[in-house]
């Protein structure tokens, strides 16, 4: 059935269009019907622009790999003239852009039919998506009492709910991989600078942030990465060149790899028993595929990295918010608690702290490179330390930004794995391999050395073939 977009990946839908089995307008109609039926329960799709989507179809879609497939942009970044944005914040609501970002231009060139945006937390700070500008939290299609993650939580929820087969996201500390884990999807963070940032920014969060996609299949991720890869004009630095392409890499299995497995945090603390067991099960799967699996943890200053990450993100938030306020007071009706706390923290730092923190991040990247070098090819862990959190646990009411991030019950205790690889710049992925006793998704995390994106995505494809997840869907996405 055409309306059941969640049952098919974007590659299959594009093949239907190419064969004349369905038109782009019919697919758009199906996506809009799914929004009407499912979005009220999850609050994931916002700022709908049906007119822009209809015009794109009537003007003629580019003959790319996803021609005619409905698509959504994250409501943070991906600047586009036809798609105003709230950026997850009342302060930035209804922002309009004079030109398209490079990443949007490349996504549009694949033939996608973009018709709206998906929710994000204010400033992209956090592992839940509950921004006040959207009038309520975004909920997980697997269980609406739980979060779909953040900061690409709306994207994850929209794909998991079967509204679209694929959506844009971005990842500055796990913001693609965390929703992938919470929503039972594929989330891949490429090597630093693999995708373009311009022209609106030179780099996000000192190079730790990068765009990405929430998908149901590895092949969709591979095609989108290939379509968008490469620096934009004037980029401050570029990623190592690919050997061939992500799409080519998934056509054959990788070499047999040395896989280090970590069923604790990277500093040795215990994680949720169900999640730890899911990691061990994934290790046994890799072993059955002929890979060498052995226990190990990275030898790097993870705690120091997270302190530096926390300061850099606070400084970025303060710069953005202060610029937008234009001298107005930072009132509660414009800026949420965590963001106000981030500004206060940033403004209490010494003026030299930013460059010091960036230096600490660079040092950490070298530590991570050394811990992989000659020891293992892949680091296997959980994506999150526990199953998806309850709604409200990570909302932005608190003004204690540092406690929110790195306190004993904060975001980093819940998500101690993902930000490590934003700091190091290494490619990393979350795959939907586990499930809790309460039927919530558990993501398994895989990371590779800097620049080895093709080997990592090849391994992801091999795992997908060995343990397919396409038929596993959130209850909301099943046809009624």
**What residues are annotated to the active site?**
74, 151, 175
- CA 109/CA 184 separation, integer angstroms: 28
Q: What's the CA gap between 71 and 66, in Å, rounded?
A: 10
SS3 432: strand
CA Rg, the chain, in Å? 20
- Other residues' Cβ atoms within 10 Å of the Cβ of residue 54: 15
> 10 Å Cβ neighbour count for 151?
34
Residues 6 or more apart in contact with residue 14 via CB below 8 angstroms: 65, 66, 67, 68, 69, 111
CA distance 173 to 184: 19
What residues pair up with 441 in beta bridges, in sequence order? 435
What single-letter DSSP state applies at residue 255? P
CA distances to 199, 242, 249, 255, 282 from 458, rounded to whole Å, are 31, 13, 5, 9, 16
DSSP strand E in 155-289: where?
166-171, 186-189, 210-215, 258-261
Which among 352, 363, 220 has a CA at the least distance from the CA of 301?
Answer: 363
User: Quick one: which H or E segment has residue 180?
Assistant: helix 177-183
288 membership: H or E segment, kind and range? helix 273-288
Q: What is the distance between the alpha carbons of residues 14 and 23, in angstroms, rounded to a whole number?
A: 10
The whole-angstrom separation of Cα 323 and Cα 341 is 16
Phi, psi of 118 (to 5 degrees): -120, 150
Query: For residue 134, how many other CB atoms are within 10 A of its CB?
Result: 21
For residue 189, CA distances in Å to 89, 178, 225 come to: 24, 11, 10
List, in order, residues 6 or more apart from 170 with CB less than 8 Å away: 74, 76, 77, 78, 124, 151, 152, 176, 204, 209, 210, 211, 212
Which residues pair with residue 207 across a beta bridge? none
């Amino acid at each position: 059935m055409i309306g059941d977009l969640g049952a098919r990946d974007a590659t299959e839908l594009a093949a239907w269009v190419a064969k004349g089995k369905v038109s782009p307008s019919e697919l758009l109609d199906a996506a809009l019907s799914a929004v009407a039926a499912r979005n009220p329960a999850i609050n994931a799709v916002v700022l709908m622009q049906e007119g822009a989507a209809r015009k794109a179809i009537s003007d003629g879609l580019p003959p790319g790999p996803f021609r005619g497939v409905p698509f959504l942009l994250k409501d943070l970044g991906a600047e586009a003239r036809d798609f105003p944005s709230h950026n997850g914040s009342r302060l930035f609501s209804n922002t309009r852009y004079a030109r398209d970002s490079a990443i949007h231009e490349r996504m549009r060139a694949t033939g996608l039919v973009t018709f709206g945006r998906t929710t994000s937390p204010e400033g992209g700070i956090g592992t839940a998506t509950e921004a006040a500008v959207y009038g309520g939290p975004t909920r997980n299609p697997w269980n609406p009492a739980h979060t779909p993650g953040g900061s690409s939580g709306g994207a994850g929820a929209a794909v998991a709910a079967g509204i679209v087969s694929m959506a844009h996201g971005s990842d500055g500390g796990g913001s693609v991989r965390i929703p992938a884990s919470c929503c039972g999807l594929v989330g891949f963070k490429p090597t630093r600078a693999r995708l373009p940032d311009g022209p609106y920014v030179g780099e996000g969060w000192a190079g730790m942030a990068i765009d990405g996609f929430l998908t149901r299949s590895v092949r969709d991720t591979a095609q989108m990465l290939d379509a968008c890869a490469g620096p934009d004009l004037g980029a401050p630095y570029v990623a190592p060149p690919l050997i061939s392409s992500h799409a080519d890499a998934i056509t054959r299995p990788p070499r047999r790899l040395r896989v280090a497995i970590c069923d604790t945090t990277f500093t040795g603390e215990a994680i949720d028993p169900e999640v730890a067991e899911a990691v061990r099960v994934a290790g046994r799967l890799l072993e059955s595929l002929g890979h060498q699996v052995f226990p190990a943890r990275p030898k790097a200053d993870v705690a120091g990295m997270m302190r530096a990450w926390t300061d850099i993100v606070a400084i970025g938030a303060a710069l953005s918010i202060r610029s937008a306020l234009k001298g107005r007071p930072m009132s509660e009706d414009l800026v949420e608690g965590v963001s106000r706390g981030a500004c206060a923290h940033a403004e209490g730092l010494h003026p030299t702290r930013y460059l010091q923190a960036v230096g600490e991040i660079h040092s950490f990247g070298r530590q991570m490179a050394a811990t992989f070098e000659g020891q293992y090819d892949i680091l296997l862990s959980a994506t999150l330390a526990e199953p998806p959190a309850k709604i409200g646990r990570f909302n932005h009411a608190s003004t204690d930004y540092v406690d929110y991030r790195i306190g004993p019950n904060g975001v980093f205790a819940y998500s101690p794995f993902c930000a490590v690889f934003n700091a190091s710049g290494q490619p990393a992925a979350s795959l939907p391999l586990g499930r809790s006793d309460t039927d919530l998704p558990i993501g398994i995390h895989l990371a590779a050395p800097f620049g080895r994106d093709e080997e990592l995505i090849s391994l992801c494809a091999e795992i997908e073939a060995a343990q397919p997840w396409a038929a596993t869907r959130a209850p909301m996405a099943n046809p009624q």
